[in-house]
Structure formats: structure tokens, C-alpha cells
Chains A and B, each alone.
Chain A
């Protein structure tokens, strides 16, 4: 902390020392945050980084007295501008929120009232503390929306959240937090649900705020997002701050093993072919990847359109062709709505396509009869973004796997050994066999989903955003697992993701999709280092990079 104290900045806004937050539950007291320290000076940006459940949100909510009704707070110091918040009344806290500290809630998609136009939402925030007349309010709303980079604010202000895109909603939410012109903004995962390009835009808005002297507390699970914005980084895990310091130091010279592992776990160009997690490989030896030029799965000129409620036809994919070679990882990257998932569903025969053909080993398998269709489905397996919804909630893990083993086991009786062996290949064990999916963590569920996909003994594995919902460290483990499995079984993999870093890490060849079309295709190295299509260039440019800013001497 000494470095922070030495920082010669403006006035100290937040001064938190040994903050403990816990919840009184039926099973007794449960600590969530312990010994949390934070100092925020005028004009500074502090980032709190940690996995889900690390207590970062609870800690910051506690600063505003919003930790919850049954929360138990204690601290040696919890000061805002020298005044203790521990003893502050509800009225004083209310005066703090909005006027002094703007809070940008997590998940802009649900934080805005769907029945109110954006203008009402902002006006509400404006009226909370000042008296303004109608035209003043209108003018201020336009100012705010302009400040956060909303185009055509006069039109946008009258729209409902449902009419705005994710990025615009997030910006509108930031505008409500800015309404009172507060010196401090707390932003909780402001870019998490957003696509790369939109994330870039929102980060630019935040950068602009920092330039105007606003102090920012930024909460994120993504180190690369905060790397370019924050002056200081706090790394949290299980309610404790493991490491804190200036950005350059934390990222460039991390002292805590957890921080080191966290930085190492971020997939990207530098991690290609390397392991991301410290977990040892499941297989004793890596066999060599046998890549060949044989085309396993191919799609030719796929075209698919959906009918919108207003009768218009929307092209989900237009003229998409692809080839998957034996033993390669083909990455498909694109923003949400670019048609990546539709391509996967068409390849699996879960959605029909309007035109085009899908070839499995040169045969149009989707044209076959039901029996043929079911046979080939055993050769192509899929892993979904949300593993939980892909399991029957009534079934235990053992039954889920047993079911698939029986289906493709040539009538042999499946023994519990087979299930255990399968669980072992994905790094789980007998304990997990008897659990229901609901009792497993996100990473464990995804492992079971991969185990199920492997149970059919597939040649092709299609992964649709399979790691997108996972924390970085879990994602690292799953990506390592996939690399192991691919080498062991010589799988051909189609890996769909919106995350360029993940694609760069794992893919041999990459397809870039935009609005239902393949805009660029090429070997991963070549495509990422020398993108030709402007869209790919824009995507890469918007990607926040985890490269520490050059070390500035703080003193």
C-alpha cells in the first residue's frame, strides 16, 4: 500500500482499511470479503480484478451501503472524503449515491427499466438531487448522451432500452451514473456482455471520463480490459486482496502466484501451443498431432434465412463454405449475430438450410434417412455454450454418460468402469458420477459436456462458445484439456468463439464471419498478424491487449 500512499495525486476520496463484509444466513455467519483495503485519489482509476465469487462486487457495493439487508459490515476505516460511512445515516448515504458516486450496474441488459424511455431513466437520476426545469433536463440529457458517445442523442433519448443495442444500453447506463456529475464512478463489469468492437467503444468512453478527471473504480474479471485503463490493480480471490499495486507492477512483475497464474491463463498470440494452467496433463504423453489434408467435414454455399415477426426475411448465413481437415482446429470468429452458431447447427443437421450442402467424408449425410442421420451424428459431437441447459436436470452425471455409451456401444452392456474412465479423461472422478448437474460448478459441467461428446467416439467436435461463460482460470483448464484430447484422439475440431484471444490460442485456421458471411479465411498466424479484410482489422484493433504500460515511477 505504501506506493499508493506515496502517489502524489489529488484529494483522497475513498479510504478503506480492513473492511470485512459477511452475510448472516440460516447456517450462521458467512464472510464474503475480508481485510479489504482501498485508497482512491482524485483522478485515479483503481481496478478490482477477480473471478466470479471473489467478492469484488460485494466489496464495492459495501462502499455505498448497498451490500444488502443481512450484510454485516466492519472496518477500521471506511471513509469518503474524510467522513466515516460506517456511522453515516441512510439519508447521508443516499446523498452520497448518485451525487458523489455514480454506480454503473453489472449487466446493462437488465439494469434499465424496459418500460421507460432512456430519457426518463436519466431524468430520474437528475431529479434525485437537483431541481431542474423541463428544458434544462432535456438539454442535460442530450449533453450526457453526447458525452458517452451515443449518436443522435435527440432520437435515442426517446427510445426504449429494447430498441437499443447492447453497447448503446451500456452507454445509456453510464450516462445515468454521470447524471449528477459525480467525482467517482464505480463500473461493475461494464464490458462483460459486449462484443469486441462494442467493448472497444465503451472502453473509449471510460477513457474519455478518466481524461476529464473522474475517478473510476473498475470491476472486471478480465485483466486485459483493465490493463489500459487502471492506475492501480487489486487482485481478489475468495474475498481477500492477494495483490495490489500500480498496473505496470502487477502485470509486469506479479508477486503473488495467483496473479502470475491469472496472467498466464489469458489466451492469446503468445500462448499458442503452450499450456495455460498449471494443472498437469491427463495423459502421460502427448502423442503427435497427425494432421492430414483429408477433408472430414465440409459445407458448400450454405444459405439460411429466418422470417422476422414483421414478415421480412433475415439472412442468418449467406453463402458460407468451409472445410475441416483431419486433425485440425478450425476457429470461427465473429460478433454475436454474425451467424456462427447457425453454421454449427446446420452442420449438425439441427437446423435445415435453404441452400447448399454439408458433406461428411464427401457424402451429403443430411440427405440420408433417419438411421443414417443418427449414425453420422455419432461421429460429430457438439458442446454447447451453456452446458447446464444441455443436460436433463433429472439425470445424474453417471446416467448422462451411460446413456450415450449405450447408444453408440454396439449393444454391449455399459459398465460403471467405462463411465469412470470417461470422467477421468476430462479430469473428473467417481465423486462427480453421482452428482446432479446442478451441483457442479460451471467448469465441471463443461467437462461433463465434453465427456459426453467424447462418449460417442467422435471424429469431429464442434464447440459453440464452449468457454465463453467461464472464468479465465477455468477457461485455461478447459482449453488445455481440449488440446490434450485433440492430440490423444486426433480429433478435428470446429471452435466457435467471439473471443479473438481464445481463437488465436487454439486455432490452426480461422474463419472470420460478419453478418452471415465469411469475410476472411486463413491460417491463424497469417490472419492475426496480417489481416486483409477491414472488418478483421477493426476487430483486432478493438481487442484490448494485456501488455503493461511502461513502468512510470510513481514517486
Chain B
């Protein structure tokens, strides 16, 4: 055996490891490694998505149907999670509320990223003067707590589900702008950007081909985390009476309504509260996992 053949062998082995025979085998191997907690979280996420797309298929009451002979009922076969003070089925309200909460969460996150991306790139790329001032602006915005900014905007814009999403989106944007800024700076100083310049690529091409895609890439899992957070924030707004108004069953509104019956029927506040926590946690768990996987595979 000489070095050359040994080396070839090593290379062949490497290939066998890097490129397995069939994608199905690879998929199977990968799914086996996913921890149970992530599976459970994914299940919760899927239920949320289902409730968003087709809430009617999950329930046999409508969220506004009243059953006045059966108010503040405990958990039962008839009303799985009981009823509220005017006999509305809590389970039905929760499922229909999921749609509102989830859509607000996604919308808020989208708005946040749409606002954050230009700010983030502007604060990392152009001439120092622009860069510096945008950077200071982001710092000023960051100094206000997200919820406070959201509160302010929802009071200016008025109460509606859409405005709640806008308010939460604006509140969350500076944080993401900062994240994009950091990523952009990191990528801008990387070896492959330098190599692309040394090869004779134009600046615009380097920016579009390397800097922007690589700066955005790590953000994808973060967006998932952000949806969970946005749900919590929009629920907080509703709970404070500044978000979605009753009779909507948005989860924050459910919490606010349940507050009045805290002693008579604590489940009215415990159940939607648990739902908010569970969904937010699931999003965090799944997307943190995906983030870790993506980073592990890339660096």
C-alpha cells in the first residue's frame, strides 16, 4: 500500500459517507435522530396549522353558539373543555381562536422582517455616514421594549386584528434589523467574499450572489421562533384590552374574558393560557432544532 492508493481509498470512503445511496435511506436515518420533544412540538404546530386552515373539521360547535342552560360547565364529553359564562364551548372558541392568533403571528413576523431587512442591510453596507446614522436609529428603536412600541402603535392605529399584527411587527423589527446587520458584517468580511472580489466579480454581483443570501440564511429558523413570540405579544395586547376585541376568540381576548371568571371557573383562563405557552414553546423548540441542525451542517 502506498500513500496514493490509501488516499484514494480514503477519498472513496469519504464519498460514501457524504453521498449515501438513496435519498429515502438518508431521510429515514435523519428522522430517526430527531428527539421526541421535537416530534411533540411538531405535532402541536401541525394541529395549530390545521385549526388555522379548517377549524370546522375539529369541532362540533361554533365559537359563538350559546348554551344558556349549561354555563360555566366543567370538562365533559359534551363540552370537552367546558363552557364560559354564557355557555359557549371553550374548545370550539380555542380552535377558532388559533386561526386568528396564528395568522396575526405570521403577519406580524412578515411585517417585522420586511421592515428589518432594508434597515439591517443599510446599516452594514453603504458609505459610513449612511451606515452610522441607520445604525444609531436602530439603537434608538431597540431601547424601547417591544411591547411598549406595539402598545403605542395599536393606540395610534386603532384596534383590529390587522393593526395588532402591524404594531407587533413594528415593535419586533429593530431586533431583527440588528441581527441582519451582524450577519451582513460577518459575511462581508468572509473569505469567499474576498475570493469573489479577487476573481474579478463586480461589487453588485458579490452583494447579490454572496452577501445578501448568506446574511439572510441563518434568519430562516429565527423567523419561526419569531412567530411564536409574536403570538405571545399579540395575546398580551388583547389581554390588556388593546388588541382584538370580544366576541372574537383570539387567545389573548379569551384570556381577558376569562379573567372575570377566575374564581368561578379557573379553566377559562388556564386553558387558553396553556395554549399560548404550548404553541410558542413548540415553535421555539422546532425552529431552535432546525437552527442547530442548519448551523451544525454548515460550519
Chain A contacts to B: CB under 8 angstroms: 26, 237-238, 257-258, 261-262, 265, 277-279, 348, 350, 370, 373-375, 377-378, 381-382, 384, 386, 389-394, 403-404, 407-408, 431, 434-435, 438-441, 443-444, 452, 456, 473-474, 476-477
Q: Is B136 an interface residue (CB 8 A)?
A: no
Sorted nearest first, the 10 A-B pairs with minimum C-beta distance are: A389-B191, A377-B200, A439-B18, A261-B3, A374-B200, A390-B191, A279-B4, A390-B195, A473-B3, A278-B4
B199 pairs with A277, CB closer than 8 A? no
Q: How far is the CA of A456 from the CA of B2 in the complex (A)?
A: 34
A258 pairs with B3, CB closer than 8 A? yes
A398 to chain B minimum Cβ distance, whole angstroms, is 14
Known: A237-B6, A261-B2. A382 touches B18 (CB 8 A): no
Q: How far is the CA of A520 from the CA of B224 in the complex (A)?
A: 59
A-B contact count (CB 8 A): 102
The interface on chain B, measured as residues whose beta carbon lies within 8 A of the other chain's beta carbons, has a size of 33
B192 pairs with A390, CB closer than 8 A? yes
Residue of B nearest to A384 (CB): B191
A392 pairs with B210, CB closer than 8 A? yes
B1-44 toward A: CB 8 Å interface, digit per residue (1/0)?
A: 11110110011001100110000000000000100000000000
Known: A26-B33, A441-B11. A375 touches B192 (CB 8 A): no
A394 pairs with B202, CB closer than 8 A? no
Q: CB-CB < 8 A to A382: which residues of B?
A: 195, 198
B164-207 toward A: CB 8 Å interface, digit per residue (1/0)?
A: 00000000000000000000000000111011111111100000
B3 pairs with A278, CB closer than 8 A? yes
Q: CB-CB < 8 A to A384: which residues of B?
A: 191, 195
Q: CB-CB < 8 A to A265: which residues of B?
A: 3
B11 pairs with A389, CB closer than 8 A? no
Residue of A nearest to B187 (CB): A392
Q: Is B60 an interface residue (CB 8 A)?
A: no
Q: How far is the CA of A439 from the CA of B19 in the complex (A)?
A: 9
- Choice from A348, A394, A443 contacting B198 with Cβ under 8 Å: A348
B3 pairs with A377, CB closer than 8 A? no
B150 to chain A minimum Cβ distance, whole angstroms, is 35
Q: Is B140 an interface residue (CB 8 A)?
A: no
A54 to chain B minimum Cβ distance, whole angstroms, is 11
Residue of A nearest to B33 (CB): A26
Given contacts A277-B4, A390-B194, A435-B19, 15 further A-B contacts (CB under 8 A): A257-B2, A374-B201, A375-B200, A377-B197, A392-B210, A392-B214, A407-B201, A408-B200, A434-B19, A438-B298, A439-B18, A439-B19, A444-B14, A477-B3, A477-B7
Q: CB-CB < 8 A to A389: which residues of B?
A: 190-192
B199 pairs with A381, CB closer than 8 A? yes
- Choice from A26, A377, A392, A444 contacting B11 with Cβ under 8 Å: A444
Q: How far is the CA of A473 from the CA of B1 in the complex (A)?
A: 13
Q: How far is the CA of A371 from the CA of B119 in the complex (A)?
A: 30
Q: CB-CB < 8 A to A375: which residues of B?
A: 200
Q: CB-CB < 8 A to A403: which residues of B?
A: 209
Q: How far is the CA of A382 from the CA of B200 in the complex (A)?
A: 11
Residue of A nearest to B199 (CB): A404
Q: CB-CB < 8 A to A456: which residues of B?
A: 199-200
Q: How far is the CA of A384 from the CA of B6 in the complex (A)?
A: 26
A378 pairs with B199, CB closer than 8 A? yes
Q: CB-CB < 8 A to A474: which residues of B?
A: 7
A152 to chain B minimum Cβ distance, whole angstroms, is 37
- Choice from A277, A374, A439 contacting B3 with Cβ under 8 Å: A277
Q: CB-CB < 8 A to B197: which residues of A?
A: 350, 377
Q: How far is the CA of A476 from the CA of B201 in the complex (A)?
A: 32
Known: A350-B198, A408-B200, A439-B14. A391 touches B3 (CB 8 A): no
Q: CB-CB < 8 A to B2: which residues of A?
A: 257-258, 261, 278
Q: CB-CB < 8 A to B3: which residues of A?
A: 258, 261-262, 265, 277-279, 473, 476-477
Q: How far is the CA of A279 from the CA of B8 in the complex (A)?
A: 10
Q: How far is the CA of A276 from the CA of B261 in the complex (A)?
A: 84
Q: How far is the CA of A189 from the CA of B286 in the complex (A)?
A: 41
B218 to chain A minimum Cβ distance, whole angstroms, is 11
- Choice from A386, A441, A476 contacting B10 with Cβ under 8 Å: A441
Q: Is B297 an interface residue (CB 8 A)?
A: yes
Q: CB-CB < 8 A to B6: which residues of A?
A: 237-238, 258
B90 to chain A minimum Cβ distance, whole angstroms, is 43
B19 to chain A minimum Cβ distance, whole angstroms, is 7
Q: How far is the CA of A404 from the CA of B196 in the complex (A)?
A: 9
A395 to chain B minimum Cβ distance, whole angstroms, is 9
Q: How far is the CA of A474 from the CA of B4 in the complex (A)?
A: 9
Q: CB-CB < 8 A to B7: which residues of A?
A: 279, 443, 473-474, 477
B199 pairs with A394, CB closer than 8 A? no
Residue of B nearest to A380 (CB): B198
A40 to chain B minimum Cβ distance, whole angstroms, is 28
Q: CB-CB < 8 A to B297: which residues of A?
A: 438
Q: CB-CB < 8 A to B200: which residues of A?
A: 373-375, 377-378, 407-408, 456
B191 pairs with A386, CB closer than 8 A? yes
Q: CB-CB < 8 A to B299: which residues of A?
A: 393
Residue of B nearest to A374 (CB): B200
Q: How far is the CA of A238 from the CA of B197 in the complex (A)?
A: 40
Known: A257-B2, A277-B3, A441-B11. A452 touches B199 (CB 8 A): yes
Q: CB-CB < 8 A to B213: which residues of A?
A: 394
Q: How far is the CA of A348 from the CA of B15 in the complex (A)?
A: 35
Q: How far is the CA of A408 from the CA of B198 in the complex (A)?
A: 13
Name the residue in B2, B18, B195, B299 with the highest tally of chain A Cβ atoms < 10 Å from its Cβ: B195
Q: How far is the CA of A134 from the CA of B33 in the complex (A)?
A: 52
Q: How far is the CA of A319 from the CA of B166 in the complex (A)?
A: 60
Identify 14 residue pairs between A and B in the complex whose beta-carbon atoms are under 8 Å apart, listed by A's number: A26-B33, A258-B2, A265-B3, A277-B3, A277-B4, A373-B200, A391-B195, A393-B298, A394-B217, A404-B199, A439-B18, A452-B195, A473-B7, A474-B7
Name the residue in B7, B10, B202, B210 with the highest tally of chain A Cβ atoms < 10 Å from its Cβ: B7
Q: CB-CB < 8 A to B190: which residues of A?
A: 389
B34 to chain A minimum Cβ distance, whole angstroms, is 12
Q: How far is the CA of A257 from the CA of B194 in the complex (A)?
A: 42
Q: How far is the CA of A209 from the CA of B299 in the complex (A)?
A: 40
A503 to chain B minimum Cβ distance, whole angstroms, is 22
A374 pairs with B202, CB closer than 8 A? yes
Q: How far is the CA of A444 from the CA of B190 in the complex (A)?
A: 21
Name the residue in B192, B199, B209, B210 with the highest tally of chain A Cβ atoms < 10 Å from its Cβ: B199
Residue of B nearest to A378 (CB): B200
Residue of A nearest to B5 (CB): A278
Residue of A nearest to B210 (CB): A392
B153 to chain A minimum Cβ distance, whole angstroms, is 36
Q: How far is the CA of A476 from the CA of B2 in the complex (A)?
A: 13
Q: CB-CB < 8 A to A438: which residues of B?
A: 297-298
B144 to chain A minimum Cβ distance, whole angstroms, is 32
Q: CB-CB < 8 A to B209: which residues of A?
A: 392, 403
Residue of A nearest to B202 (CB): A374
Q: How far is the CA of A407 from the CA of B206 in the complex (A)?
A: 12
Residue of B nearest to A27 (CB): B29
Q: CB-CB < 8 A to A258: which residues of B?
A: 1-3, 6
